[in-house]
Amino acid sequence: MAQPHIPITPSTTTFEGKTIIVTGANAGLGLEAARQFLTLHASRVILACRSLTKGRDAATYLSTHPSVVAVNSNADIKVLELDLDDYKSVTKFAQQIKSEIDVLDVLLLNGGVNIMEYQVSASGHERVMQVNYLSNAVLSLELLPLLQSTAAKRGAPSRLTLVGSQTMGMHALVKKPLLENETITQRWDDKTRYGSLQRYSDSKLMVAAFTQVLAQHVPASKVVINNLCPGIVATGFDVNLPIWLKPIMWVVRKARARTVEEGARTLIYASGVAQADSHGKFILNNVITEPAPILAQPEGEKLKQKAWAEAVAQVKELDPGFNRDWA
C-alpha cells in the first residue's frame, strides 16, 4: 500500500534570518532537509556531521546547488563535527555552538543509525540507543537555553524537532519490560535482553518518550518540541543491515518509498510549519498521530519520568556547569 503523498511546503513558509542546525546532514534526509531550508531562505545552516570531510563535501554540494544559488546564494553554510556515538563529541559540539553563535532558531535532530547486532558505543552504551536516543537527549538539554533565549529575542518560539519512527510500536518492552529498580541505560545495555529486530524501534520509543516529557518542562511559547516519522524513504539508511534483510528492504523501498525530496518535506513541516498544537506530539504524514500505546499507560509514564531524571543526571555529569533552571 502506497504512503500518503507529502505536499510541497507552502510557499509562504520562510526561514529568512534564521539559524538552523541539522544533525546527520551529510547525506540522505539530513542533506536534503538542509537544502530545503536554504531554498526557504535560511540565513545560516549548520551541518553537524560525524565526518568533517563528508560534511565539507555536503556544504559544497549545497552552496553550488542551482536551487540554492537561485534564491539564497549568500547563505552561511557551516560544518561542525558531531559524533553521536561519543558523549565527549556531543558535549564538545554543544559548547562550540554556545560559544560561536548567539541565536538558534531550529534544532533538527536527524542523525541516527540502524545496526542489527549488539555493539558498544565509545561512551560504553549499546550503540543504536546511544546514537538514536541518549546523545540526542543530552544535546537537546544542552542547547535548550540557547533556543529559549533566541525565542525571547525573536518574540516567537524556537523549534526542536527529533526524528523518530512509527516502528516504535514494535518495541521490546511488551515482552521484556523495564524492571522496577533498574535504570533505562541498564535495561538497554543488557545484552541478554537485546533484540536485534527491535532495537531500532526501542530507540525510537525512547525518542518519543523523551519528546513528551521534555515538552512538559518547556512551554510551547518558548520552544515548540515535537517528534516525527518521515515514513519509508529511498535513502542509504539500510547499509548496516544484515545481508539477508537487505533484499527485503530493497523490495519494500522500491514499492513504497518516498523520494528523499518528499521525505525531507516531513522534516521541514515538523520543524517549521507545524503549529504549537504539535508540542510534545508525534507527527506522521504531516498529521499529529498517537505514538506507541505504552506511552499513554502507567508503565509508559514511569518510563518517561525515568528518561527525564536520567537525562538531566547525565548532562550534569558531562557538564558540571549545566543548570536546568531554564525549565
pLDDT of the chain, 327 residues: tens digit per residue: 689 999 999 989 999 999 999 999 999 999 999 999 999 999 999 999 999 999 999 999 999 999 999 999 999 999 999 999 999 999 999 999 999 999 999 999 999 999 999 999 999 999 999 999 999 999 999 999 999 999 999 999 999 999 999 999 999 998 888 988 899 999 999 999 999 999 999 999 999 999 999 999 999 999 999 999 999 997 655 555 555 455 554 455 554 579 999 999 999 999 999 999 999 999 999 999 999 999 999 999 999 999 999 999 999 999 998 976 654
Which one from 18, 87, 133, 204 is the annotated catalytic residue? 204
Per the listing, cell 534526509 goes with: 29
Instruction: Give the pLDDT score at 209.
Output: 98
CA atoms of 236 and 167, how far apart (whole Å): 18
pTM of this structure: 0.94
CA atoms of 293 and 59, how far apart (whole Å): 40
State the fold for domain 19-232+266-326.
Rossmann fold (3.40.50)
Q: Which H/E stretch holds residue 77?
A: strand 76-81
Q: Which H/E stretch holds residue 149?
A: helix 135-154
Instruction: Give the pLDDT score at 280.
Output: 99
Contact 216, 295 (CB under 8 A): no
Count of CB atoms situated within 10 Å of the CB of 217: 14
200 is catalytic: yes
Amino acid at 278: S
244: DSSP letter? T
Instruction: Give the pLDDT score at 327.
Output: 46
Which one from 200, 222, 269, 306 is the annotated catalytic residue? 200
CA atoms of 220 and 277, how far apart (whole Å): 8
Q: How many CA atoms lie within 13 A of 231 on its CB side?
A: 26
